[in-house]
Amino acid sequence: MEAIKTSVTMPALALRGLAIFPNMLLHFDVGREASIKALDEAMTTSQPIFLVAQRDLSVEVPEEDDLYTVGTISNVRQILRLPGDNVRVMVEGVSRGRLCGLSQTVPFLLAEVEELPEETPVRRSTRTEALIRQTYELFERYIELAPKMTPDILLSVLASEDPGYIADYIAQNLSLRAGDKQSILEEPRPVRRLEKLFHMLRREVEILELEQDMQNKVREQLTHNQRDYFLREQMKVIQQELGDEGQNGDSEIAEYRQRIERAKLSDQVAEKLNKELSRLEKQPFGSAEATVLRNYLDICLELPWGKRTRDRVDVTAARKVLDADHYGLEKVKERILEFLAVKQLAPELKGQIICLVGPPGVGKTSIAMSMARALHRKMARISLGGVHDEAEIRGHRKTYVGAMPGRMIAAIQQAGSCNPILLLDEIDKLGSDQRGDPASALLEVLDSEQNATFRDHFLELPFDLSDVLFVTTANTTETIPRALLDRMEVIELTSYTDEEKLQIAKRHLLPKQLKRHGLKKSQLKLTDDAIREVISGYTKEAGVRLLERELATLCRKSAMQVVSKSVKSISLSGDNLEEYLGVRRYHPERLPRSEQVGVVNGLAWTSVGGELLEVEANVVPGSGKVELTGNLGDVMKESAHAALTYIRSRTQPLGIEADFYQTKDIHVHFPEGAVPKDGPSAGIAITTAMVSALTGAPVRRELAMTGEVTLRGRVLPIGGLKEKTMAAYRNGIKTVFIPADNEKDLEEIDQTVRAALHFIPVEQVDAVLAQALDLGECSAEEPQEEPLAGESRQPGRLPRFRQ
């Protein structure tokens, strides 16, 4: 063949995923019409053809930008027409060429190609010789590892000493990425080309070695399992021939059989486990079914079938334990001691279900732990907050992958006895989704008539839960389903009074924090006034969690003083507390200095205790509109409208103009407008404020009131009396109006509060108005309009007048 001149025009063929090197033969299939026409043109005119790779394989009609710039000038040796439209062609690479441009793209590619001459080194250095030898060794290793490589390929490499030819030959026969082959093709320097190939070849050899290593491990594992299987089958045959199968058996099967015999199982449970054991005996070792059966037998035999702890039925000893752990909580303690007393007289009494309901931090979880100590029972805690899968309670079928028993059976296994105390924490925060409702699954668990035969999906056996003492905790009963709530005995834990918090801090919290921070009692001394200051000025909660954090802060800062300043003892009182805890966060309400018109002190219940909440009313000339502001809920707005209707029905006795609802606008406002408020128990406070504003009669400043009002002026009972009266006591109130039906609840409030306040039970709003207002001093025709005044209050939790 004659030497090709530079910038020669010749047909071009775009390759997808292929590369051909000079001095190499390659056959491949051609399917595109333009490529077939380029081959025909090259054969017809005896021209060489330029083979160049595409950058993007998905391009069907490539342009000049879609092609690499370096390709191979080749001769077409043979064309074979295949059935269909495909053509198989054999080409021989001649030399590298650079694409200068495409002179045409239709009907085939015609390219301007510049031949790239091969650089010939002057002499071969020792470094090049070492590189060639290393390449020989790597290529020989590659041929050993590659499944489709034949050893005769190595002979062509060993017969040459040209580094450029060696690089081209090996690259042509390696399974490299198209981009890697193109980078070798574009390298004109032979030694540099061989270095590139050497690095690629080493990477390919490492990959093949890793693949072979993984295949060998899998093969060895399969061979090991097959060997064990054959040996076990041979052992069974030998035992059958010797007649020893029934006596000896497999050691694992014999161990399971002994565990079943030793366990205190009922006939039904023992029969079921023996049946599963027989199935395990017939399974090949290592099979998936055998693994499932072993897991099932292990979990069933680890359960405490028939194991019970002996209750301590000594009421006096139990009372000491409960009193040592908790201050107050008399209702809960009394209920536990009653259970013990009945247990002493009737030992066959089954387990009970108790629900402790109260705000956060009042000791619901810790009282359950004290119950376990007092009764000498094991205890397990199950947190139900956020659980939304029914299988969490009943478990999964053992045939599923990753199956496990439900939380009830897991807790019994953890406790190690059949009569523990199970604490179901946060039962009011259960969820539900497409996988079922766990609250519905708890209906059987928390029913003493049904849970004697509780069936877990995993066990498929009845398990007796009737001896379990269930204790559930919740912050509210509103989100607990009615059917589930009906199965539990609800005991409400109200918020602590300030005196109770003081005793809890002195007896429990402060000694605990002193021990935790490494302080002795003599190193940090807190007076009662200091603790009261922490309670009233730095915490606002129903429980004592925040109080404990503040005491921990005092201990930390005291430890710093002891270590850094070598102070031997620190005494804190209410006066120097700000040096350690900073500026007081909460300030008590201040009563107005003079009596005001249209301003009434209401009492609100919140999740962190009671609050004093002012009700303001004002009357201005208008057309009878009633404006209600202060971020009020629907129930509170309805209370305001009911109060207005009652006042309209009593205009003559109250000395109010009969047509006031047509000539005056009434505005009722609750301060702290950003805090949502709702509930009916502000009814008499709203009524009193409206009457005061309409008549101009001032309201006595040292009284507060709570109660729901009806259209006929009846005062209905309310809830949260303990918290509301504590708020009145803290804010200097002297007299409190309460519904007559709530008079019986005064027995439960703090004795200090009861002694300090004067309670007036009322049945009608008229009695409230007669004592709260001085209607004789002002005439109805000339109502006094005084400016509304109210002291700013610290933002607190959401006040809610609770019914």
Each residue's pLDDT tens digit, 198-227: 888 888 888 888 888 888 887 777 777 777
Q: What is the pLDDT of residue 357?
A: 86
Q: What is the pLDDT of residue 802?
A: 37
Minimal CA–CA distance to 425: which of 390, 485, 470, 378?
470
Minimal CA–CA distance to 608: which of 445, 488, 495, 744?
495
Cα separation, 223 vs 221, whole angstroms? 5
Cα separation, 736 vs 507, whole angstroms? 32
DSSP lists the bridge partners of residue 627 as 667
345 and 466, same domain (yes or no): yes
What is the DSSP track for 459-470? T-SEE--TT-EE
Residue 138 lies in a domain: no
603 and 558, same domain (yes or no): no
User: How close are the terminal C-alpha atoms of the chain, in Å?
Assistant: 107
Q: Which amino acid is at 552?
A: A
617 and 641, same domain (yes or no): yes
540 and 606, same domain (yes or no): no
Q: What is the pLDDT of residue 739?
A: 92
Mean pLDDT computed over every residue of the chain: 81
pLDDT over 60 (residue 792) = no
Say which CATH number the domain at 504 has. 1.10.8.60
Please give the average per-residue pLDDT across 683-712, as a whole number. 89
691 and 559, same domain (yes or no): no
pLDDT over 50 (residue 2) = no
Contact between residue 625 and residue 664 where contact means Cβ atoms under 8 Å apart: no
392 and 458, same domain (yes or no): yes
Per-residue pLDDT band for 633 (boundaries 50, 70, 90) equals: confident
Range of the domain at 280: 251-302
Per-residue pLDDT band for 781 (boundaries 50, 70, 90) equals: very low
DSSP lists the bridge partners of residue 430 as none
643 and 754, same domain (yes or no): yes
Say which CATH number the domain at 101 has. 2.30.130.40
Minimal CA–CA distance to 493: which of 368, 354, 331?
331
In the numeric block, the tokens 């509170």 are attached to: 636
Cα separation, 219 vs 760, whole angstroms? 90
Domain boundary among 558, 581, 604: 581
Domain boundary among 65, 100, 116: 116
Angle subtended at Cα 11 by Cα 9 and Cα 14, rounded to the nearest 5 degrees: 125
**Span 174-201, pLDDT tens digits:** 878 888 888 888 888 888 888 888 888 8
Residue 188 lies in a domain: no
pLDDT over 50 (residue 436) = yes
462 and 405, same domain (yes or no): yes
Residue 718 lies in a domain: yes
Residue 139 lies in a domain: no
Give the DSSP letter of residue 429: G
* Helical (H) or strand (E) element with 307: none
Q: Which distant-in-sequence residues (6+ apart) come within 8 Å of 746 by Cβ? A: 721, 738, 754, 759
**Span 692-703, pLDDT tens digits:** 888 888 888 888
**Span 511-528, pLDDT tens digits:** 888 888 888 888 888 888
More reliable by pLDDT, 505 or 118: 505
**Span 220-272, pLDDT tens digits:** 777 777 777 777 777 777 877 776 554 444 577 888 888 888 877 888 888 88
Q: What is the pLDDT of residue 667?
A: 92
Please give the average per-residue pLDDT across 322-329, as a whole number. 82
pLDDT over 60 (residue 777) = no
Say which CATH number the domain at 451 has. 3.40.50.300
Domain boundary among 581, 612, 646: 581
**Span 281-317, pLDDT tens digits:** 777 766 778 888 888 888 888 888 888 888 777 788 8
**Span 34-71, pLDDT tens digits:** 888 888 888 888 889 999 988 888 888 888 888 888 99
Say which CATH number the domain at 739 has. 3.30.230.10
Q: Which of 724, 734, 744, 779 is catalytic?
A: 724
pLDDT over 50 (residue 794) = no
Q: Which distant-in-sequence residues (6+ apart) come within 8 Å of 193 by Cβ? A: 163, 164, 167, 168, 184, 187
Give me the sign of the Cα torsion angle 729, 733, 735, 736. Answer: negative
600 and 631, same domain (yes or no): yes
Q: What is the pLDDT of residue 592?
A: 63
* Helical (H) or strand (E) element with 437: none
More reliable by pLDDT, 737 or 400: 737
Residue 681 annotated as catalytic: yes
Minimal CA–CA distance to 442: which of 414, 465, 460?
465
Cα separation, 145 vs 189, whole angstroms? 29
More reliable by pLDDT, 584 or 157: 584
Q: Which of 398, 681, 692, 722 is catalytic?
A: 681
Number of domains observed in the structure of the chain? 5
393 and 539, same domain (yes or no): no
Residue 264 annotated as catalytic: no
Per-residue pLDDT band for 428 (boundaries 50, 70, 90) equals: confident
Q: How far is CA 91 from CA 94, 517, 622, in A?
A: 10, 86, 103
Cα separation, 397 vs 462, whole angstroms? 15
Please give the average per-residue pLDDT across 438-450, as a whole number. 82
Residue 676 lies in a domain: yes
pLDDT over 80 (residue 547) = yes
280 and 333, same domain (yes or no): no
State pTM to two decimals.
0.59
% of the chain at pLDDT higher than 90: 2
pLDDT over 80 (residue 799) = no
Residue 788 lies in a domain: no
**Span 604-632, pLDDT tens digits:** 877 666 778 888 999 998 888 888 888 88
286 and 423, same domain (yes or no): no
pLDDT over 80 (residue 167) = yes
Please give the average per-residue pLDDT across 358-386, as a whole number. 84
pLDDT over 50 (residue 789) = no
Residue 459 lies in a domain: yes
Of 29-33, 104-108, 562-566, the one with minimum mean pLDDT is: 562-566
DSSP lists the bridge partners of residue 602 as 613, 705
Residue 219 lies in a domain: no
